[in-house]
Amino acid sequence: MLNLPNALTLSRIFVVPLLVVVLLTPFSENWFGVERHFLGVALFLGAAFTDYLDGQIARRRRQISRLGILLDPIADKLLISAALISLVENRLAPAWAVCIIVGREFAVSGLRSIAAADGLLISASRMGKFKMAAQVAAVALLIASSAGGEPPVANFGRAFPAIQFWTVPELRDALGHLFSGGAVTGTDWQVLLYTAGRAMLWVVVLSACLSMYGYFRAFYRAAIERDAVEREAKRADHASAAAASALPREDGKISVG
C-alpha cells in the first residue's frame, strides 16, 4: 500500500538522479540561474529530512509496512552513496574515505540480511544514528562550500588530503579575517565551510568503523545466545522424553526406553 511514509521514501529515491545532475553539471545555472551548491544543499537536506519524517509519520499513524521496511534503507544508501561519489568526482572528498563509508553501508546491509534470514533482529545503534547525522552534516557542508563544483582551496583537492588544516594559506587568511575584525568575504566562508566539512568527514569515517564493529558484535552475541537457547531446549526435550519413557505402564512394569 502506497501510504504517505512510503511515498516520502520513494520521493527520496527519485531525488537521487536529480541531485547527481545538479552536483556534476551546470544544469541549475543554465536552466534556473541558481548556483549548483545552493540547489544541491537544498535537495540533499530536503531528501535527508524525509528520512526522519517518514519514520515519524509511519510510527504515529501505525503505517509501518514491509514495503517501507524494504525501501527505507535502500533510499538512504542510494542518497548518501550518490552524494559522496559526486563529491569525489568534484575533488571535494577523498576517495579512500568514501570507500570506507560506502563499504560499511554494504557490509551492514548484508549482515542485517543474513540476520533476518536467521530470524535475528539487529536494531539501529546509537553510534549508527550518530554516524548518519554526522554524514548528513559533512555532505551538506562540503556541497555548500564548493564554488562551481570545485573545492575553494588548492591543498585539499590533491590526492592526499591535508591533515594539518591550519597550514593551508586560504584557511589562514579566512581565520585572520574572521578573528581579526577584517572583512570576511564569500570565499572565506566557503573555505571555513569546506574545512568544517573535511573535519566532519573524519568523524564520519571513525563512527562508521565503530558502528560497523558494534553491529557485527551484536550479531555475534545474538547468534551465540540463540544457539545456547536452542541447545538448552534440546536438553529439556531429551530430559522430558527420558522421563516419559521411565513412567510405569498399565501392566505395572517400568518402561525403560
pLDDT tens across 90-135, in order? 888 888 999 999 999 888 888 877 877 777 777 677 888 888 899 9
> Model-level pTM greater than 0.85?
no
Q: Which residue has the cell 536529480?
A: 18
What is the residue range of 33's domain? 4-242
Give the number of domains in the chain. Answer: 1
Burial of 98 (0-12, 13-18, 19+ CB in 10 A): buried
Residue 201 lies inside a defined structural domain of this protein: yes
Q: Which ranges constitute the DSSP H helices of the chain?
A: 4-24, 27-32, 36-61, 66-89, 95-117, 126-145, 169-179, 186-245
- pLDDT tens-digit readout, 149-195: 777 777 665 544 556 666 777 787 888 888 887 788 888 888 889 88
Nearest by Cα to 193 from 40, 89, 29? 40
- List Cβ neighbours of 18 (8 Å cut-off, separation of 6 or more): 43
| Amino acid occupying residue 84 | L
Q: Is the pLDDT of residue 244 over 70?
A: no
Q: Which of 66, 56, 50 is nearest to 8 (CA)?
A: 50
Q: What is the CATH number of the domain that holds 167?
A: 1.20.120.1760
**pLDDT for res 247:** 58
Assigned domain for 248 exists:
no
> What pLDDT was estimated at residue 20?
92
Does residue 13 lie within any of the structural domains? yes
> Is residue 119 one of the residues assigned to a domain?
yes
